[in-house]
A = this chain, B = another copy of it.
Amino acid sequence: MKAPRPPRKGLVIVNTGNGKGKTTAALGVLFRAWGRDLRVIMLQFLKHEGARFGEIRAAEKIGVTIRPIGDGFTWTSRDMDKTIALARHGWEEAKRLILGHEYDVVILDEFTYPLQFGWLDTAEVIAWLQAHKPPSLHLIITGRDAPPELIAYADLVTEMREVKHPWAQQGLAAQPGIDF
A residues neighboring B (CB under 8 Å): 5-11, 13-17, 19-21, 23-36, 38, 53-59, 61-62, 104-105, 138, 151, 154-167, 170-173, 175-178, 180
Contacts and interface: CB of A to CB of B under 8 A. Distances in A.
A23 B5 CA distance: 25
B173 A6 contact: yes
Contacts of A35: 53-59, 61, 177
Given A28-B25, A151-B164, A33 B158 contact: no
Nearest to A5: B173
A82 B105 CA distance: 40
Q: Is the interface of A mostly helix, strand, loop or mixed?
A: mixed
A164 B155 contact: yes
A163 B173 contact: no
A27 B17 CA distance: 19
Nearest to A38: B177
B156 A20 contact: yes
A105 to B, nearest CB: 7
Nearest to A59: B35
A105 B177 CA distance: 9
A12 to B, nearest CB: 9
A63 to B, nearest CB: 11
B54 A36 contact: yes
B105 A6 contact: no
A31 to B, nearest CB: 4
Contacts of A8: 173, 175
Given A21-B21, A62-B61, A180-B32, A163 B155 contact: no
